[in-house]
Amino acid sequence: MAEIETSLLGDPEKENAREEKEEEEDLGGTRLEAVTVEEAQLPISVEDQRWKEYFETLSNKRRASFRCAVSQGLRSDVLEGGTAGSSVGVVGGSAGVGDRCLLSVARETLPRDSERRWFLHVYSGCPPPLLMPSISLAQVVVFVVYGLALGTWLLPTYDADFMNGSLLYSPPRRHEAWRFLSYALTHAGAEQLGLALLAQLSVGLPLEMAHGSLRIGAVYMAGVLAGSLLGSVADRRAPLVGSSGGVYALLSAHLANIAMNWSRMKGSFRVLRMAFLLLLMSAELGRAVWLRLSPRAAPAQPSFVPHLAGVWVGLTLGLAVLRCYEQRLRDQCCWRVASLAYAASVLLAVACNVAMGDPAGADRPPPAAAEAAPAGGH
């Protein structure tokens, strides 16, 4: 009889131990799982599984605000698709235009259902995503100013005044450090500017909404800096124009994230969207290669090396950022490895620039500017 009671009710000593541990670890009315299924010798139940998931969520290196929301019960509602979804009007057929746009952003950028529901619950639009629109506006203003001054909107890289401007990267003037970043504001024609704006606003803006301006801005500027540093080492004679380094960093990270989470992505046009972005990247890279290797390219035209550097940054640093949604990056191994690799590459490129000095074959100012140069200049 005692054996039957033990099999039905469990070991009394272990049951008492379990109750004591639960009382000791009961914080603020929140019941934490204190005894494993093996210790209690009880079959796992749905409630036990939910508490196990709850504890794992709390210990996932999230932000303090995230853990606070979980302790208040909000996270469980989000995971179940309850109040979080209905609070933004995406559950049911009465969703507004703004809610549908948010839902589209969540589906296109976040691979997990829990991340999508959490984004829809916490996103308030304050502060608004201003980084990508601000960069795009600055690029348009710079292009219009140069266009009005030069009287042309196509291929101004053949114009001497444009090539001697104060923003683009020029090998003879690489000691002016701001050019390693400011070259991203200039573009080699309306077609390059149009492709950059399309990518920044159709991909960069949704990513900024989902992951924040700081993280997306860091990936973008890391791509820009990597493009100029690699270009100054690998293609030393060519100037650098355009934001392709930053754009390709975002596009590569986004496409890699989609490919790695293909079955989880909920976008309605995943294949079409991915094909469009690949076509966009290929068209811009082909345009840059043609311009650089064109027979007319005397003096040397802008390099396409920043495109390749942007892809490298996107597949390392950018992908690490996108895979760590709402998690502290410094606690993630993939982020630490990618950051160290990027920092080492930057230091190596800087050391190469210092060691190699002024490129011997670098093109001097074009004829129109050379006329104004001192006698004896080349």
Active site residues: 244, 307
Sign of the dihedral through C-alpha 77, 79, 81, 86: positive
Q: Please name the amino acid found at residue 156.
A: P
CA distance 284 to 49: 50
Q: Which residues pair with 62 in a beta bridge?
A: 327
CA distance 109 to 251: 12
Furthest C-alpha separation in the chain: 112
The structure tokens listed for 41 are 């010798």
CA distance 218 to 240: 20
Sign of the dihedral through C-alpha 273, 277, 282, 288: positive
Where does 130-269 have alpha helices with state H?
131-150, 160-163, 179-182, 190-199, 205-211, 213-234, 244-260
Given a contact cutoff of 8 angstroms between Cβ atoms, the answer to whether 284 and 195 are in contact is: yes
Where are any strands of DSSP class E within 28-159?
A: none
Residue 360, phi then psi, degrees to nearest 5 = -65, -35
Residue 96, phi then psi, degrees to nearest 5 = -80, 180
Q: Please name the amino acid found at residue 346.
A: V
CA distance 136 to 141: 9
